[in-house]
A and B are shown apart, each in its own frame.
Chain A
Amino acid sequence: MSDLTELYQSVILDHNRRPRNCRAMPDANAEAEGYNPLCGDRLRVWVRLGDGNVIEDVSFEGIGCAISQASASLMTTAVKGRTRAEALELFSGFHDLVAGDAEATTGLGKLTVFAGVREYPSRVKCASLAWHALRSALAGANEPEHP
């Protein structure tokens, strides 16, 4: 039997209930929407990039399941203060973690709480929705993304 506590860890439940950086950002210089037409989950990610492509601030708003909300929240805490390149590298590692491509992923810190998603293929998109939106925002794209 699948172990639900692997998926719904307390860190995830906490970030679902009290999402960090969950707000619009009027002075953002990049933003993008993430939309999963399969389940209707939708969120918007805002980024303020500073000198040296450093993410000075990042935020999100939207609706979705616990996995997508917590993932968006944890993503904002993970990429704030990092450079664009570092953030994209983090997404790559995160994707390997949840899509099950790599057994050993390092440097992900708190994001490893999403390792349980790997056992639930239909939920991988929930976990990566915010990251896809972040990538679109960092690419300067304002088109809605359909992951």
Chain B
Amino acid sequence: MPATDLRPPAVPADPGVRPYDVAAVRREFPILGQRTNGRPLVYLDSAATSQKPQAVIDAVSRFYATGNANIHRGVYRLSEAATAQFEGARERVARFLNAPDARTIIFTRGTTESINLVAQSYLRPRLRPGDEILLTAMEHHSNIVPWQLVAAATGAMLRVAPISDAGELDLPGLEALLGPRTRLVALAQISNSLGTVNPVRRVVELAHAAGAPVLVDGAQAAPHLAADIQALGCDFFACSGHKMFGPTGVGVLYGRADLLEEMLPWQGGGDMIASVTFERSTWAAVPSRFEAGTPDIAGVVGLGAAVDWLSALDRESVAVHEALLLRHASERVAAIPGVRLIGTARHKASVVSFVMDGVHPHDIATILDADGICVRAGHHCTQPLMRRLGVPATARASFALYSTTDEADALAAGLERVRRVMAL
């Protein structure tokens, strides 16, 4: 049993605070009432993408049914109303992530595009041969490859901060790699493969002391209500709408205002210019400068609805629910003969990655699917991490605020069935 970092007991100190009602939360997610393979859906792949509450589905549908027009252009009322919805979502996202100003929030297609924007627009012009970009061994490919691309183009190189066998960041190891050539530090707040919660605040202090800005991949942090940009003190923060109960196709980049002001556009097109002639163009102000072309307006409206929905929840109650769920699921899964948990950091989000002796993760996922249980199997877009931990792949059950201990029990029962099917 791994040591999981548990928060205070589930009983709220204030008797006026209602306990977290997961059944009521689940009723807001239509898909969770569905059956798959003839069995009730047990969706344990929220780290890949979260399900959507009715409020988000309705917001997207309502926008198309009653509010659709292009933004920032029309002088007619429908377009102005669409612009107001779009910009209103920007303000709500800024508040939700505790960004200092809505102007520091750029809408993208997702975390991947947000990171690529920083790589191309902020970092690339600043890189010289021999410069360094510091990552960690647990990064998602989307927080590795964009840096590789700009490093290859400029002669810069990647450095990789080590991790322990439990999947915890080696902070002294990271500090030792920080130096005068470090141009940026990029790391996940929460590991998608392991659930490890990184000490981002401390990394930011170390990096800033060395003169390096920090990009935080917050894709996994936002849905656990753990994203607080000003508390982290980071310079860039990226997350995806679809992992935080919003639509696919929309993401967020926060950038420090002074850095954004210095950055040139990455993509050119409509809506990002002040003036265009065939000789030259001048750029629109931040954030429009980085939002070329018609964005996913309905997606942004849906994301606004998602953060409204999340903001109405009590963060502490959600944290306690997820911590208890993680402890319960970790205990149940680790108790299955032949199962080994991968990623046993002291401070973890509700991700349970594991391997089973004699059974490949893909077989585990296929057999669980017959019980209506959805888990991810594979390298989780973290091949270097898998190599570091000496496993070709893992099975991963990832829990969200709508997940239940019953579902963790169903997973455990499913794993017993895996053993029977594989004749173990």
Choice from A8, A123, A126 contacting B422 with Cβ under 8 Å: A8
What are the residues of chain A within 8 A of B421 when measuring CB–CB?
A: 4-5, 8
Contact A126 B362 (CB under 8 A): yes
Complex contact B363–A17 (CB within 8 A): no
Residue of B359, B393, B422 touching A39 (CB-CB under 8 A): B393
Considering only residues 236-275 of chain B, those with a C-beta below 8 Å from chain A are none
- Cβ contact within 8 Å between B383 and A13: no
Question: Which of A58-66, A96-104, A135-143 forms part of the interface with chain B?
Answer: A58-66
CB-based contact B392/A7 at 8 Å? no
Q: Is the CB of B393 within 8 A of A1?
A: no
Q: Is A67 an interface residue (CB 8 A)?
A: yes
Contacts A4-B367, A39-B377, A120-B366 known; A66 to B39 CB distance under 8 Å? no
B contact residues, total (Cβ < 8 Å): 23
* Complexed CA–CA distance, A44 and B226 (Å): 44
Cβ–Cβ contact A66 & B423, under 8 A: no
B392 adjacent to A63 (CB under 8 Å) = yes
Are A39 and B362 touching (Cβ within 8 A)? yes
Across-interface contacts of B378 in A (CB, < 8 A):
38-40
A-side contacts of B386, CB under 8 Å: 40
Alpha-carbon distance A40/B363, docked complex (angstroms): 14
**Cβ B422 vs Cβ A40 within 8 A:** no
Known: A13-B422, A40-B386, A66-B422. A1 touches B363 (CB 8 A): no
A6 to B362, CA, bound (A): 16
Measured in the bound complex, the distance between the Cα atoms of B423 and A39 in whole Å is: 23
Min CB–CB distance A71 → chain B (angstroms): 13
CB neighbours of B422 from chain A (8 A):
8, 13, 66
Contact between chains at A1 and B37 (CB < 8 Å):
yes
Q: What is the CA–CA distance of A63 and B360 in the complex, to the nearest angstrom?
A: 9
Interface residue? A106 (CB, 8 A) = no
What chain B residues lie within 8 Å of A13 (beta carbons)?
422-423
Please measure, in the bound complex, the distance between the C-alpha atom of A65 and the C-alpha atom of B422, giving whole angstroms: 11
Most A-side CB within 10 Å, residue of B363, B367, B369, B423: B363
B366 contacts which of A7, A38, A40 (Cβ < 8 Å)? A7
Most buried by A among B37, B360, B361, B383: B360
Give, as a whole number of angstroms, the nearest-CB distance from B133 to chain A: 24
**B362, closest chain A residue (CB):** A65
Task: Identify the closest chain B residue to A63 (Cβ).
Answer: B392
CA–CA, A65 and B358, complex, Å:
10
| Cβ contact within 8 Å between B367 and A1 | no
> Is B379 in the interface zone, CB < 8 Å from A?
yes
Tell me if A66 and B363 are in contact (CB < 8 A): yes
Residues 376-414 of B contacting A (Cβ, < 8 Å): 377-379, 383, 386, 392-393
CA distance A44 to B363 in the complex (A): 21
B370 at interface by CB-CB < 8 Å = yes
Q: Is A10 an interface residue (CB 8 A)?
A: yes
Q: Which of B359, B361, B362, B367 has the most CB of A within 10 A?
A: B362
Residue numbers in B under 8 Å from A66 (CB-CB): 359-360, 363, 422
B38 at the interface (CB under 8 A from A): yes
Looking at the complex, which one of A2, A42, A67 makes contact with B363 (CB distance below 8 Å)? A67
Question: In whole Å, how far is A113's beta carbon from the nearest beta carbon of chain B?
Answer: 15
- The minimal Cβ–Cβ distance linking B211 to chain A, given in whole angstroms, is 38
- Contact A1:B39 (CB < 8 A) given known A65-B360, A65-B362: yes
**Most chain B CB within a 10 A radius of its CB, from A7, A42, A66, A69:** A66
Within 8 A of B (CB), among A104-131: 120, 123, 126
Determine the chain A residues whose CB is within 8 A of the CB of B359 once the complex forms: 66
B38, B383, B423 pick with most chain A CB within 10 angstroms:
B423
User: Given contacts A2-B370, A4-B421, could you give 10 more A-B pairs where the C-beta distance is less than 8 Å?
Assistant: A1-B37, A7-B366, A8-B422, A40-B386, A40-B393, A63-B360, A65-B361, A66-B359, A120-B366, A126-B362
Residues of A within 8 A of B (CB): 1-2, 4-5, 7-8, 10, 13, 17, 38-42, 63-67, 69, 120, 123, 126
Chosen A-B contacts, 16 in total, with CB atoms closer than 8 Å, are A4-B370, A8-B421, A13-B422, A13-B423, A38-B378, A39-B362, A39-B378, A40-B379, A40-B383, A40-B392, A64-B360, A65-B361, A65-B362, A66-B363, A66-B422, A67-B362
